[in-house]
Amino acid sequence: MRASSLVEHRVTVVVAVLLAAAVAAAAARTKNECHSGDKAALLAIKSAFGNASFFNSWTPDTPCCEWANVSCDSSSSSTARRVVAVSFLNDAGLAGPLPGAAIARLTALQQLVLNNVPGVNGTIPHDLTRLSATLSFLTITSTGISGPVPPFLSEITALGYLSLSSNSLTGPIPASLGDMPNLYFLDLGSNRLTGTIPPLLLSKGPRRRVPIPLPQQARRRRSRRVRRPAGEPQQLELSHNDIYGDIPEQVVHLMLEYLNVSYNRLSGTVPAGGNMAWFDQSCFQHNKGLCGTPLPPCKE
C-alpha cells in the first residue's frame, strides 16, 4: 500500500466508525423518545411551574424518556413510547398550583407522585378525572395543597392507591370514595378533615360477604374472590385529623389489613368482629371517647 492510500484507508475507517456511532446514537434517541403529545404535555408542566430548576433535564432536544422522574412504557417498534409515571419529589423550588390541565394531557399516565414539595399549593385539580381510565396510583403527600378531598376523585375509576396524607386538606371525607371499583389503599392521615366516617365508605362489604351455603368447589372459588374484593379499601389510614362520631359498624365486614383512626375526636365503642382484633390500641389511641377492646372497657 502506498502511503497516500494508507491515509485514505484510515480516513475511511474513521468516517465509518463515526457514522456508525451517529446511527447508534440516533437509534438510542428514537428508542428513548416519547410520544410527541406526551413530550408537549411535559413541557407544558415545566412551563406551568415557571421552568423551575427541578426540570433542568427536561429539554426539548433530548429524548423525554430520559428526563429525570419521568418513566415511559417499554418500547415497541411500531408505536412511540408513552409516559406512564411522573414524580415531583423533595424540591422546595417547585411552587404554585398543580397544573391539572397539562398533566391530563399525559393520556397514558398511570402513576402521579408528589411528595415533599411544600410550595405546590391550591386545590386538587378536577382535570385529573380525565385520566380516569389509566391513573391507578396517586400520591399527593407533604405538599401545600389545601381545600377539600374532592368527591370527583371517585370518577377516577382506575385508581387503586390513593394517598393524600400530610397536606392541609379540610372538610369531610366524601362518601363517594366508597364507590371506587379498584380502590385498595386510602390514606387521608395528617390533614384537617372533619365530619364523621361515612358508613358508605365501608359499606361495600356486607352484601357480598353474607355466607351462602355452596358446594365445596364453588365455596372455595367464592372465598378466594371475597378475600380480595374490588372496590373497598383494604388499608385505611385516617389518623391525625379532626374526625368525630362513631366508627361505623360496617367496618367489621371489611377484609381490612390495616386500619388507623388514632388522633381524632371519635367516640363510642370500637366495633368488634371481622379483622378488628388485628389492630392494637395504637390504631385507636388519642380519641375523644373511644372505648372497648383494645382500649379500656366502656363505662356503663
Neighbours of 41 (CB within 10 A): 24
Options 262, 276, 287, 290; binder of ligand NAG; rule CB under 6 A = 262
Binding mask 55-74 for ligand NAG (x = CB under 6 A): -------------xx-----
- In a 10 Å sphere around its CB, with 0-12 CB exposed, 13-18 middle and 19+ buried, how is residue 86 labelled? buried
Q: Does 260 bind ligand NAG (CB under 6 A)?
A: yes
Containing 222, the helix (H) or strand (E) segment is: helix 216-227
263 and 290 Cβ atoms separated by less than 8 Å: no
Q: Which is nearer to ligand NAG, 122 or 245 (CB)?
A: 122
Comparing CB distances to ligand NAG, the nearer of 154 and 167 is 167
All three cell numbers of 167? 397536606
Q: At residue 63, what are phi and psi to the nearest 5 degrees? A: -70, 130
- Candidates 12-20, 27-35, 152-160, 259-267; binding stretch for ligand NAG (CB under 6 A): 259-267
Q: Are 182 and 158 in contact (CB under 8 A)?
A: yes
Residue 112 class from Cβ within 10 Å (0-12 exposed, 13-18 middle, 19+ buried)? buried
Residue type, 159: L
Whether the CB-CB separation of 60 and 43 falls below 8 Å is answered with yes
* Cα(103)–Cα(76) distance, integer angstroms: 24
Contact code string over 234-253 relative to ligand NAG, x by CB under 6 A: -----x--------------
> x/- binding map, residues 194-233, to ligand NAG, per CB under 6 A?
----------------------------------------
Q: Residue 199 Cβ, how far from ligand NAG at the closest point, in Å?
A: 22
C-beta of 12 vs 281, nearer to ligand NAG:
281
The least distance separating ligand NAG from the CB of residue 36, rounded to whole angstroms, comes to 17
Q: How many whole angstroms separate alpha carbon 158 and alpha carbon 165?
A: 20
What is the distance between the alpha carbons of residues 155 and 132, in angstroms, rounded to a whole number? 6
User: Which residue has 375509576 as its cell numbers?
Assistant: 157
Q: Which is nearer to ligand NAG, 184 or 263 (CB)?
A: 263
Residues 265-294 that bind ligand NAG (CB under 6 A): 280, 282-283
The residues with which 27 forms a beta bridge, in sequence order, are none
Question: 22 to 51, contacts with ligand NAG by CB under 6 A?
Answer: 47, 50-51
Piece in contact with ligand NAG (CB under 6 A), picked from 100-108, 198-206, 225-233, 255-263 = 255-263
Binding mask 99-138 for ligand NAG (x = CB under 6 A): --------------------x-xx----------------
The SS3 of residue 145 is strand
Residues of this chain that bind ligand NAG (CB under 6 A)? 47, 50-51, 68-69, 87, 89, 95, 119, 121-122, 239, 260, 262-263, 280, 282-283
